[in-house]
Chains A and B, each alone.
Chain A
Amino acid sequence: MRPQSETELADMIRAAKGPLAVVGGGTRGVALEGEPLSTAALSGVVLYEPAALTLVVRAGTPLRDVEETLARSGQRLAFEPMDHRRLIGTKGEPTMGGVIAANVSGPRRVQVGAARDFLLGARFVDGVGNVIKSGGRVMKNVTGLDVARLMAGAHGTLGVLTEVSLKVLPDVEKAATLVLRGLDPARAVAVMAKALGSPWEVTGAAHDPEAGETCLRIEGFAASVDYRAARIAAHLSAFGAAEIESGGDRWRDIRDGAGLAGRDGDLWRLSVKPSDGPTVVARAGGMVRAARYDWGGGLIWLLTDRGADLRGAIGVFDGHATLMRAEPATYAAFGRFQPETATVAALTRGLRARFDPRGILNKGLMG
């Protein structure tokens, strides 16, 4: 199915006889039961006001188009959504709806916020075929429950996004990267915490244990970047000398988990209290083949032995582990998403039953 308009989408959902697998760009490699429902034709910029930092686009609009449109006006999506294609090994073109539905956020999340923080409003069609709008196109809006933000991270299980409005930010004049070498994960997380806790606005903090590199990004006006890079290097001198690279090129690779791309094993994404990161990984023990830390340690990409029970090995922690790439049997055994507490799971079920009483939208994806 490939609805040409929101109205047509609503008709299709209303008339659906069975499960529908909502597809944006299909780049996250989620294979689901049901008839594919593509948002590709719901595409295009509805409104772009650079002076108001506001962009409204239809959900099927390719991320690339959005980024090009913004770049022409010297602006960007500050939450720098990752591109999953390399890491998951998928094809297709990421869409804005997919980015919001999965709350996809890159390294800058640690400073400016996640995709959901830049969402000003949304239109969507629920599992019954109702067209619903929430939020709007203004920066501040507390009128009624923030249903739009609930859609961010709902992975299409509460409704199919048709339009999203976003806050955008100015692009930066210059970026620099501080690289510290030879730190173990615990020291790396400590150094990242120290940098992120300084007034010099670090916009990326990542650690690659294999290369032994800890990277910190600084962005802004040229003179300011030079000044802050020097201040941070001095601030962190107890951890060793930092090399200052001009530019932020390596952050695309960090964002996309490039270092783990194409490597054998299951792929997990962990969200943790940053300082817990190294111990959580240590608890996983020998099943871990490789790890990458982002968000100052709060986001961990883990490559593990195939079929290994990572969640079982880690036990209880402040955060969650999402299975991002594995064989069907592994998904079947562990589920994609971290099981929730009984109370939260009951709320989730309740919401799904309300928004999609037939349980047809992305069936089985979120429990």
Chain B
Amino acid sequence: MQGGATGCDAAAVAMGAWLSMVGHEEEWPMQLPPVDSRVMAKKARIVARLREVLPADAVIDDPAETRAYECDALSAYRCPPLCAVLPASTAEVAGVLRVCHEEGVPVVPRGAGTSLAGGAMPTADSVILGVAKMSRVLEIDYDNRFVRVETGRTNLSVTGAVEAEGFFYAPDPSSQLACAIAGNIAMNSGGAHCLKYGVTTNNLLGVTLVMMDGTVAEIGGAHMDAGGLDLLSVICGSEGQLGVVTEATLRILPKPEGARPVLIGYDSAEVAGQCVADIIRSGILPVAIEYMDRPCIEATEAFAHAGYPMCEALLIVEVEGSPAEIDAQLARIKTIAQALNPVELREAKNGDEAARIWLGRKSAFGAMGQIADYMCLDGTIPVSQLPFVLRRIGEMSAEYGLKVGNVFHAGDGNMHPLILYDANKTGDLERCEAFGAAILKLCVEVGGCLTGEHGVGIEKRDLMGVQFAAADLEAQMAIKDVFDPAWLLNPAKVFPLEVSATRRAAAGGPAPRTPRGI
């Protein structure tokens, strides 16, 4: 490992590989901010002070136990925290933050730890603040169509709390069984059905936000727009950098009468892309348009036996409504699809067949995981660029010598290339990450972005300069300055370290060894 002691060797080695391919010719001196030795030196005191504001068992400082918090779902990067705390109320969260603020300790908020971007990964000198104990439903209001929950509650169990009355919470990340509303808000998570229902930011009405100094702010509520600046806009998607969200008011929707998918297979990505465009142009707004390419279909078939046709591009289009409304919409979609000569066009006749159509799509990640290790990206592109980008990814796959499968939300251009590699083979991870960075740069070049729903975290942090100019990043950091002037909340994420260096240093953190501008 080069440069300063980050205290997290494995992570640093992996990050070194990640960073070295993004166009910085020289090696970086460090990949995580240097560990604040002042914080490390007073660990005992910090833990003791945290025990004053929390029940003893809510503070975890035994190194064996803190390992449970060393990573999130981006498990290639690991680093145990100084300690972890599990507060059970907003007041306890405020107490923890007040202590950490006074002691100058970085805090990394954590929901369920399913982030794919390393958003919840600790640094060695940080306190992990997990909201898992806070999972109560506080209020359900069907007349006004909202539910208020503590944010440690899982996404699926929000719907679980209201579905008996015929309602649901719309954003549905594939991780919904495990992920928490806390992380959903912090990452502004999306799901398969967001083409129609939007992502988290479109379904969030209010939050209780505890700021780094322990101040509790109530923002938004059960009303439908902001009375002044729309602070929810920036809180949602802030990756734990503005405050700790402890409670949320979420919009719930009445469940549609029914939904049914149709499966369409084509011999080329171009034609499949054309089909997506034609459907959207026709005035139909499906709830979901999912796409899988051949490598993905092959893997999925071997794993889940969903009975998919072997073809270059497979679409699953789902519409909602009453049986007659569904028939009418699917009839239009089938006419559009037929005109483009599909190799297969299969409509679900019943719930069983619908489940089979979705089975392969839902098993896709698991299936790819069976054949190799994989890295999942989520750059978004304008849908018109789909065929071009898929072709380029195919070419790059040959260049890098790594297979890639594509499975994604085609309706909104949110790609999910899965790059396959072998973690036990030297150099494979590095090549995979270089390939990943090249794909994300391509997404930006064609008018898209680095991440459509997973967030920047630590994973895409050093690619931010590809999408944003210095002034753009400066504007974002200015917002963090206002909410968290001491730069203690999740400070090692989102902004390239050299870009945030001055701020982190000025706020009392350890000085960077070689500060530079962008």
Contacts of A169 in B (CB 8 A): 285
Stretch of A24-32, A47-55, A240-248, A283-291 contacting B (4+ beta carbons < 8 Å): A47-55
Partner of B284, one of A141, A170, A227, A274: A170
Known contacts A149-B201, A227-B324: A350-B482 contact under CB 8 Å = yes
Q: Are B229 and A138 in contact (CB under 8 A)?
A: no
Chain A residue at minimal CB-CB distance from B232: A149
Q: Which of A147, A223, A351 contacts B482 (CB 8 A)?
A: A351
**When the two chains form their complex, are residues B231 and A146 in contact, meaning their CB atoms are under 8 A apart?**
no
Report which A residues bind B (CB closer than 8 A).
49-54, 74, 103, 105, 109-110, 113-114, 116-117, 126, 130-134, 136-147, 149-150, 152-154, 157-158, 169-173, 190, 193, 196-199, 221, 223-224, 227, 271-275, 295, 298-299, 318-320, 322, 337-338, 340-341, 343-344, 347-348, 350-351, 354-355, 366-367
Q: Say how far B65's CB is from chain A's closest CB, in angstroms.
A: 32
- Given the complex, which residues of B lie within 8 Å of A140, measured CB to CB? 190, 194, 199, 380, 409, 412-414, 452-453
Determine the distance from Cα of A53 to Cα of B382 in the docked complex, in whole angstroms.
10
In the complex, A153→B324 CA distance in Å? Answer: 41
Q: Which residue of A lies closest to B274 (CB)?
A: A51
Chain A residue contacts of B276, Cβ below 8 A: 51
Q: What are 14 A-B pairs at a CB distance below 8 A?
A: A54-B382, A105-B225, A141-B380, A142-B451, A142-B452, A147-B479, A152-B230, A153-B233, A173-B283, A190-B143, A197-B145, A227-B322, A343-B218, A351-B478
Q: Is B438 an interface residue (CB 8 A)?
A: no
Separation in Å of the A356 CB from the closest CB of chain B?
11
Beta-carbon nearest neighbor of A189 in chain B? B143
Contact (A141, B452) CB under 8 Å given A154-B229, A190-B143: yes
A52 to B478, CA, bound (A): 32
Q: Determine the distance from Cα of A274 to Cα of B198 in the docked complex, in whole angstroms.
A: 22
Q: Does B456 contact A (CB under 8 A)?
A: yes
Instruction: Evaluate contact between A142 and B481: CB separation under 8 angstroms.
Output: no
**Count of residues in B whose CB is under 8 Å from the partner chain:** 94
B329 within 8 A of A: yes
Residue of B142, B230, B277, B409 touching A103 (CB-CB under 8 A): B230
The docked-state distance in angstroms from the alpha carbon of A142 to that of B471 is 18
Evaluate whether A49 and B384 lie within 8 angstroms (CB atoms) in the complex, with A113-B202, A171-B283, A337-B227 already known.
yes
Whether the Cβ atoms of B143 and A138 lie closer than 8 Å is: no
B302 at the interface (CB under 8 A from A): no
Q: How far is the CA of A173 from the CA of B254 in the complex (A)?
A: 23
A131 to B468: give the CA distance in the assembly, Å. Answer: 12
Please give, as numbers and ranges, the residues of chain B lying within 8 Å of A109 by CB-CB distance: 224-225
B143/A143 in contact, CB under 8 A = no
Verify if B236 is at the interface (C-beta below 8 Å from A): yes
Is B41 part of the binding interface, using a Cβ–Cβ cutoff of 8 Å? Answer: no
Alpha-carbon gap, A193 to B144, bound state (A): 7
Please tell me which one of the listed residues A172, A199, A221 contacts residue B328 in the complex, with CB atoms under 8 A apart: A221
Known: A131-B471, A197-B254, A350-B482. A145 touches B230 (CB 8 A): no
Interface residues of B (CB under 8 A from A): 141-145, 166-167, 187-188, 190, 194-195, 198-199, 201-202, 215-219, 221-231, 233-234, 236-238, 254-257, 276-278, 280-285, 321-322, 324-325, 328-329, 380-384, 409, 411-414, 447-456, 460, 464, 467-469, 471-476, 478-483, 494
* A354 and B472 contacting across the interface, CB-CB below 8 Å: no
A131 CA to B475 CA in the complex, in Å?
10
Q: How far is the CA of A132 from the CA of B474 in the complex (A)?
A: 9
Q: Which of B228, B234, B325, B382 contacts A52 (CB 8 A)?
A: B382
User: Known: A53-B280, A149-B201, A318-B221. Is A348-B452 also a contact (CB below 8 A)?
Assistant: no
> What 9 A-B pairs come out closest when comparing CB atoms?
A320-B227, A139-B412, A149-B233, A140-B452, A51-B277, A350-B482, A170-B283, A273-B222, A319-B223
Closest chain-A Cβ to B451's Cβ sits at a distance in Å of: 5
Q: What's the nearest-Cβ distance from chain B to residue A241, in Å?
A: 23
Residue from the list A117, A153, A320, A347 in contact with B217, Cβ < 8 A? A347
Which of A74, A133, A193 meets B283, CB within 8 Å?
A74
Q: What residues on B are CB-neighbors of A298 within 8 Å?
A: 144, 223-224
B230 touches A344 (CB 8 A): no
Indicate if the CB atoms of B237 and A273 lie closer than 8 Å: no
Residue pair B475, A355 in contact (C-beta under 8 Å): yes
Q: Are A271 and B227 also in contact (CB < 8 A) when A142-B453, A149-B201, A227-B325 are?
A: yes
Complex CA–CA separation, A275 to B222 (angstroms): 10
